[in-house]
Chain A
Amino acid sequence: MAMLEVEGLTKAFGGVVANNDISFSVEEGEILGLIGPNGAGKSTVFELLTGFHSADAGRVRFQGRPILGLRPDQINRLGMGRTFQKLKPFQRMTVEENVMVGGLQHDADLGAAREQALTALYFVGLLDKRNADAGTLSTGQRKRLELARAMATGPKLLLLDEVTGGVDQRSIPALTELVGRLRSQGTTLIVIEHNMQVLMSLADRILALHLGRKIAVGTPREIQEDTLVIESYLGAAYA
């Protein structure tokens, strides 16, 4: 049984059909990349999977359990975590306190939660900044914080929304390596990315969306050569 099974996921906002009958599955331990030009509906898939919006139609099973209609906090407790494209640090709390919020979901005991939190901070390389206010971090550091926070909840499936977005070139390899290490720890990942180089090295499979529909799924090599995908990004002339 796949860790995540999505069937016929559909969502419309007013007249715009953001997700149109999307179906896919994610196997345990793999990294699934999710690509598509802007407006393809990638973030909407995340919103629906994590309970921030209600789907119009479709079924989603996480580890065999149907999850559509559950609240975000319930879904997180089942083992699915996420980061946000528009970063949401708890500004007036310190880095450590931020990750503690995640850790407390995993362990109600403050001491154990703190251990979880500090380990997550160590993993992403923010340990030395643990007493800084989250509002003072740079973008790259905030991305790491967001990651550590979600990690601290101990998810089996982690949804990463544009990890390298807005991060300068120099720092991308470090972040990429971080995501790779996550997988080697046993976390399954779905990663929305615009940066194809990153996905080429990270993803086992890639799912391509265009205007709300799934247009291709396959290995990175296969996707790179898929005419529909190329067409969606660059136009028919280049297909």
Chain B
Amino acid sequence: MPSSSPPPLSPPSRATVDDASLRAALDEPSRKPLSGRQKALGCLAAAVLLAYPFVFDGPFPQHVMIMIFLYALMAQSWNIMAGYCGQISLGHAVFFGIGAYSSGFLFATYHISPWLGMLVGIFLAMAMALVIGIPTFRLRGHYFAIATLVIGESVQIIFQRWEFVGAARGIWLPIVRENAWLNFQFNESKIPYYFIALGFLALATLAIWRLERSKAGYYFRAIREDPDAASSLGVNITLYKTVAFMMSAGFMAMAGTFFSQYILIVDPENVFALSLSILVLLMAVMGGVGTLLGPIIGAAVLVPLSEYTRIYLGGTGGAVDLIIYGALIMLICIYKPDGLIGIAKQWLGRRPPPEETAHGDA
């Protein structure tokens, strides 16, 4: 037993007061409920999204929205890995391509419903994530990023030479006119594609929303912030990185299947492209990585920018759209590194008042 006792620090009466404060803290809900303003905005957004394809019923505006949903879905998938778990992948297109090829190949060759093909693609993508992850998760930071980069490039090269899946020509999906929903192919109108894409995006966003409020979500973020500290607190780093990677891969594969059914051509140039991996990264970061809505905002800004500038300014030789794109990305990185979501949060009134930095200690 210590021979001398430390000087008493706090007045005895503080004990009972603090007890009450503990109970009060426990009674508080762990998350602030959505404000009335946020709920109203949410309903408005939902209404707009549902009505949009009927109001703007030309194929191009619908196409732009579908592309926004598709890229937002991919950016959300990437977000799970990089934003929430802190593992930066530069080869995420690999899973997109596997999804596209799986369902595309099964449909073109055996006329298996692409919905089933999608499940196969998701499974294969997750398996690939497992296989890639185990040896590469020991790599930190940039080493891991380069590893994912070279794996992505390697897969593209392999598919370009693999005759079984059509090599460089790829797979050209047959156009079928009956059983549109079973065959996941709609030739008359883009509206079903619109709602399917929206549905996929909603699913991914919901998954992240649930993730934020789950044990895995906390563990992912702990790994992102400080893997050693996380490990010392009982977090099995490799296990959770693998889970994040597999989740992320699964959603990318979903996007891949959608793409193959929408465009009806699957070739290595398009589905395994490095530029796709980079675009997905850029959208997530520009919008706000590690947040629920950031990737959606990123896609919502960058996809129309790309589509419309290409029409009005670009074309094959112009490249002005990319000049603007590149400049915009640099500007956001310098002036709004938290992403556009920071601006959006101010509008939604959700940004909490800045905490006072404590002066002095203890």
A residues within 8 Å of B by Cβ?
50, 52, 71-74, 76-77, 81-82, 84, 88-93, 96-97, 100-102, 104-105, 108, 110, 113-115, 118-119, 121-122, 125, 127-133, 136-141, 144, 149-150, 153, 167-168, 170-171, 173-177, 180, 200-204
Contact = CB atoms under 8 A, between A and B. Distances in A.
A30 B18 CA distance: 28
B4 A200 contact: yes
B329 to A, nearest CB: 22
Contacts of B13: none
A136 B355 contact: yes
Contacts of B362: 125, 140-141, 144, 167, 170-171, 174-175
B140 interface: no
B5 interface: yes
Contact of A119 (B1, B22, B215, B352): B22
Interface stretch (B183-191, B225-233, B243-251): B225-233
Contacts of A171: 361-362
A73 B234 CA distance: 4
A84 B231 CA distance: 12
Nearest to B229: A88
Contact of B357 (A108, A136, A153): A136
Nearest to B2: A201
Of A50, A81, A122, A180, most buried by chain B (CB within 10 Å of CB) is: A122
A73 B233 CA distance: 6
Nearest to B356: A136
A12 B237 CA distance: 26
Interface stretch (B33-41, B216-224, B263-271, B311-319): B216-224
Contacts of A150: 232-233
User: 9 closest A-B pairs (Cβ-Cβ)?
Assistant: A140-B361, A105-B234, A171-B362, A90-B225, A88-B229, A72-B231, A76-B234, A171-B361, A140-B362
B12 interface: no
Nearest to A91: B225
A73 B236 contact: yes
Given A110-B30, A110-B215, A174-B9, A101 B233 contact: yes
Contacts of A153: 233-234
Nearest to B226: A88
A180 B2 contact: yes
Interface string B349-362: 00010010111111
B4 A133 contact: no
A72 B26 CA distance: 30
Contacts of B231: 52, 71-73, 76
B358 A133 contact: no
A90 B21 contact: no
Contacts of A96: 30
Nearest to B14: A125
B249 to A, nearest CB: 24
A72 B230 CA distance: 9
A104 B6 contact: no
A177 B214 CA distance: 35
A118 B29 CA distance: 12
B361 A167 contact: yes
B213 interface: yes
Contacts of A115: 26
B235 interface: yes
Contacts of A72: 228, 231-232
B7 interface: yes
A104 B218 contact: yes
A218 to B, nearest CB: 14
Contacts of B9: 173-174, 177
B25 interface: yes
Nearest to A78: B234
A52 B228 contact: yes
Contacts of A129: 358
Interface string B121-133: 0000000000000
Nearest to A171: B362
A77 to B, nearest CB: 5
A105 B232 CA distance: 10
14 contacts: A72-B232, A73-B232, A73-B235, A84-B229, A90-B222, A90-B230, A127-B22, A131-B352, A136-B358, A138-B357, A138-B359, A171-B362, A174-B362, A201-B5
B112 to A, nearest CB: 39
A108 B215 contact: yes
Given A122-B18, A127-B22, A171-B361, A97 B221 contact: yes
Contacts of B215: 104, 108, 110, 113
B232 A138 contact: no
A90 B221 contact: yes
B6 A177 contact: yes
B91 to A, nearest CB: 25
A173 B235 contact: no
A50 B232 contact: yes
Nearest to A138: B358
A138 B360 contact: yes
Contacts of A76: 231-234
B219 A101 contact: yes
Given A77-B234, A113-B215, A127-B25, 4 more contacts: A141-B358, A149-B229, A175-B362, A202-B2
Contacts of A130: 25
B236 A90 contact: no
A153 B25 CA distance: 20
A104 B235 CA distance: 9
